[in-house]
Amino acid sequence: MTAPASQIGLVGQSVKRVEDPILLTGRAKHIDDLHFPDMLHTAILRSPYPHATIVSIDASAALALPGVVAVLTGEELVNHAGPSRDYGAEWYALAVGKVRYVGEPVVAVAATSRYVAEDALDLIDVEYDPLPAVANARQAIEADAPRLYPTLDTNIVYKKTFSYGDPGRALEGADLVVTGKFRIPRLSANPMETAGVISQFDPATGGATSWSNVQAPAVALGTLVATLGIPMDRARAMVQPHGGSFGSKIALGKFIVITTVLSKLCGGRPVKYIEDRIEHLMASGSHAWEREYDVGFGFDRAGHCLGWRMVVLSDVGATGGPTQTLKALTCLVGPYRVRDVEYDITTAVSNKGGDGPYRGYGPPTHFLVIERMMDKAAAALGLDPAEIRRRNFIQPEQFPYMQPNGVEYDSGNYPEVLRVALERAGYEELRKEQERLRSEGRLAGIGVAFGVEPGGFRGQTGPYREWPAGGSLAPEAATIHLQENGDLVVDVYFAMEGQGHFTFATQVVAAYFGVPMERVRVVSAEPRLTTPSTGPMGSRQSVTLTFALRGACDLLREKLLALGAHMLDLPAEDLGIRDGRVVPASAEGKSLSLGDLAAVMHGKPADMPVGLDLDPSVTCSWTAPPPEDREGSPYLTYANGCHVVLLEVDRETGQVAILKYVIADDCGTRLNPRVVEGITQGGLAQGIGFALLEEYVYSEDGQPLSVSFMDYLLPTIYEVPLAEKAAVVTPSPATPYGQKGAGEGAIHVTPAAVFCAVNDALAPLGVELTQAPASPRRIWEAIQASPSSG
């Protein structure tokens, strides 16, 4: 598994990113930067009701508006496209018969400009018959709640208790049982670029092409083929570099469907749709993590956690499923040596926009709960929060560590990560500083939180197989073309998205062949059904793409050595590749450059040995070996991190000021340390948003109220602490360089750390904050409940 030292070279160095020059100069072509001749623009009329029957739609005035070319309703759409299906329910890209959330697409217009298309929306007359709405999961699970789907006799789409060991006995036998209830609101990724698609149907062939900023190109291809019935050989899904995704752009299917059908109705003209920010905030389909927790944790006197019970109620909106709640099963016990645990999930649909992926895919709330409960136990037992964690950690010698549910952690050294974090934070001094502030009557709080990060997503294995949509493996592909001059062009099958994938891919390939980075060029290639590949998700590319790249490198190497052996008249096994040359193992005598070999492969068949495949292009579509049993982990690596924060709460206004923030984390070997640090800081920022600012607020009857950037608040530079960061490196045994997925680590821990710190600050008042975000209002309300307040 481990890469030979000779192939490491550039890997692990903080080289400048190869993605940047085109981005810095404004020359990258994002989806909305593409302008095709005759292109039409789409605007979408969306439901103003959370739940209503569509009585009639009159779009004649819109169709008569100069510049409008086509109007598409759900009734027409079903003639061209199939539904999405999940949990026995189905829905279409445009509402058919009824609407189930505010912002649900109802009518789409294609016109010569977006301006005219939006004018046309004003002219469409839709008559609705409002139905009683289900505003949240609590309402949804009531026996007499209105039903969202006629095919279901309940709004509960998933319910199961996962129990391991004997949690009942663990809690009964505990010296201390701490309980807690938590509410997490909806939040979402909100990348700076919204979703966008251009589709073109070819009336001559029945084929279709979509250009989009989809995160997972396979999803786009799948939509064309499975939902729109485009023949496999005539479906093309191109991906443009995109302005961030964090999960939100995985599922753009409905926009691909709408624009493709519109293109078909418009005689094959290309049709563009760009989601605007209000549409994104209202109904992106990527809202996430609205949950209630009701938990009990048992401890012995020494602070050892004996077991816990977690009951989770998830509101997944009209079209979400339980997988983001199921993901906690892959990191069920967090960093702790706990064997008797229960995780009880109820997932309900409601009349709000659908739940969808957001960076982390669920566990950030899981760790918020676990870490807060650790603090509560520590307080009850008179232990320092750092100490109670230390006493419960899985120990370094226990790895690979099998969790009670059969999901394995590859590696780690949690005590060391904690130690480094505390040392960097000057923890003892920090506690003294807190005491000093408290003695002045100020509310200072410290949070120490730990989390693990499932990374290197290998597919819908293990716990995900609980869900019918799961069950597939997720390959990743790379192709290497040896150019005639010896340069290497590397095709990957996804778009630039921000994580520096193209940079580390360049580092890996250049290091493998010992060539300078300038001689390797990574490009985003057209995804093809014949080259199965998945794209970024689940902190996977530093692991999965690396396997694919090295697989392709191995294939090319084999060819180069075979050809080299022929040309040098030496046995292939006596040859190696060094500094961009095929050289004898003895390092003496003649050697050949990649260019020498490429020249032969490209055009001198007479010099080729007979019977060898010397095609200068090689492809590896890598799939992780499936877990040996059903309960294996869908993740190959488990990075982990510890955050320490000092903050102050203004007792009169409820405002939070972060005074110090330290992160120590261990994601194994860092392919490009500077890139990893940037991603960590970015995850921290999103975690700060979760902890302090972000929340989709709904009225009691299901109207979304956070539909602009004035109300859904992303953190700015003022709100995000510039964290001090320290790296601990415990190489993963599962990957070539010892690297681990690192894309989601910080957001797993930041909300927990800040939440713990706010509660630590409030502790002298005897009150507790149990809802995120820790907004001034919420904190103030908690303070008002204090027996010692006014």
Q: Which of these ranges, 100-108, 144-152, 183-191, 581-589, lies near other proteins under the rule CB under 8 A?
A: 183-191
> For other proteins, which is the closer residue by CB, 29 or 432?
29
Rg (CA), the chain: 28
Contact 602, 374 (CB under 8 A): no
> For other proteins, which is the closer residue by CB, 347 or 503?
503
* DSSP calls for 684-705: HHHHHIIIII--B-B-TTS-B-
> For other proteins, which is the closer residue by CB, 20 or 558?
20
d(CA 575, CA 585): 5
> For other proteins, which is the closer residue by CB, 467 or 780?
780
User: Which residues from 312-351 bind other proteins, rule CB under 8 A?
Assistant: none
Least Å distance between CB 279 and other proteins? 8
User: Which residues from 5-24 bind other proteins, rule CB under 8 A?
Assistant: 16-17, 19-21, 23-24
d(CA 534, CA 367): 28
28 touches other proteins (CB under 8 A): yes
> For other proteins, which is the closer residue by CB, 62 or 377?
62
Burial of 595 (0-12, 13-18, 19+ CB in 10 A): middle
Least Å distance between CB 245 and other proteins? 8
Q: Around Cβ 696, how many Cβ atoms within 10 Å?
A: 22
Helices (H), 195-353: 217-222, 253-265, 277-283, 323-326
> CA 714 → CA 212, 598, 686, 722, distances in Å?
25, 51, 8, 16
> For other proteins, which is the closer residue by CB, 350 or 706?
706
Q: Please name the helix (run of DSSP H) or strand (run of DSSP E) that holds residue 120, with its range, or none.
A: helix 114-122
User: Which residues from 103-162 bind other proteins, rule CB under 8 A?
Assistant: 114-115, 118-119, 122-123
d(CA 336, CA 324): 21
Among 185, 134, 106, 145, residue whose Cα is nearest residue 696: 185
Task: State CA 712 to chain mean position distance.
Answer: 20
Q: Please name the helix (run of DSSP H) or strand (run of DSSP E) that holds residue 156, with its range, or none.
A: strand 156-164
> For other proteins, which is the closer residue by CB, 302 or 705?
705
The C-alpha angle 375, 379, 383, rounded to 5 degrees, equals 95
Least Å distance between CB 442 and other proteins? 15
d(CA 562, CA 612): 8
User: Which residues from 277-296 bind other proteins, rule CB under 8 A?
Assistant: 277-278
Least Å distance between CB 145 and other proteins? 25
Q: Please name the helix (run of DSSP H) or strand (run of DSSP E) that holds residue 168, with its range, or none.
A: helix 167-172
Task: State CA 715 to chain mean position distance.
Answer: 19
* DSSP calls for 218-234: HHHHHIIIIIT---GGG
Cα four-point dihedral sign 493, 495, 499, 504: positive
What is the per-residue binding string for other proteins in 560-599, x denoting contact by CB under 8 A?
----------------------------------------
Among 103, 191, 247, 641, binds other proteins (CB under 8 A): 191
Among 679, 675, 680, residue whose Cα is nearest residue 661: 680
> For other proteins, which is the closer residue by CB, 432 or 777?
777
Least Å distance between CB 150 and other proteins? 29
Backbone angles phi, psi at 37, to 5 degrees: -60, 140
Q: Which residue has the tokens 């984390």?
A: 665
> For other proteins, which is the closer residue by CB, 610 or 710?
710
> For other proteins, which is the closer residue by CB, 337 or 778?
778
Least Å distance between CB 252 and other proteins? 16
> For other proteins, which is the closer residue by CB, 79 or 716?
716
Least Å distance between CB 43 and other proteins? 8
Q: Which residue has the tokens 């209630």?
A: 292
722 touches other proteins (CB under 8 A): yes
Among 714, 731, 768, 786, binds other proteins (CB under 8 A): 714
Q: Which of these ranges, 96-104, 298-306, 340-348, 495-503, lies near other proteins under the rule CB under 8 A?
A: 495-503
> For other proteins, which is the closer residue by CB, 32 or 384?
32
Would strands 635-649 and 656-666 be described as parallel, antiparallel, or unpaired? antiparallel
Among 105, 455, 715, 741, binds other proteins (CB under 8 A): 715
Among 523, 596, 441, 440, residue whose Cα is nearest residue 241: 523
Number of residues that bind other proteins (CB under 8 A): 80
What is the per-residue binding string for other proteins in 744-783, x denoting contact by CB under 8 A?
-------------------------------xxx--xx--
Q: Around Cβ 54, how many Cβ atoms within 10 Å?
A: 21
Among 120, 264, 246, 240, residue whose Cα is nearest residue 189: 246
The C-alpha angle 756, 759, 762, rounded to 5 degrees, equals 155
Q: Write out the two tokens for 574.
A: 């006596």
What is the per-residue binding string for other proteins in 217-256, x denoting contact by CB under 8 A?
------------------------xxxx-x----------
User: Which residues from 44-103 bind other proteins, rule CB under 8 A?
Assistant: 61
Q: Which of these ranges, 370-378, 482-490, 491-499, 555-563, lies near other proteins under the rule CB under 8 A?
A: 491-499
> For other proteins, which is the closer residue by CB, 36 or 468?
36
SS3 (DSSP) at 275: coil
User: Which residues from 634-693 bind other proteins, rule CB under 8 A?
Assistant: 652-655, 674-675, 678-679, 681-686, 693
d(CA 408, CA 454): 10
User: Which residues from 391-450 bind other proteins, rule CB under 8 A?
Assistant: none
Among 104, 453, 497, 760, binds other proteins (CB under 8 A): 497
Among 1, 6, 33, 88, binds other proteins (CB under 8 A): 33
Least Å distance between CB 780 and other proteins? 5
632 touches other proteins (CB under 8 A): no
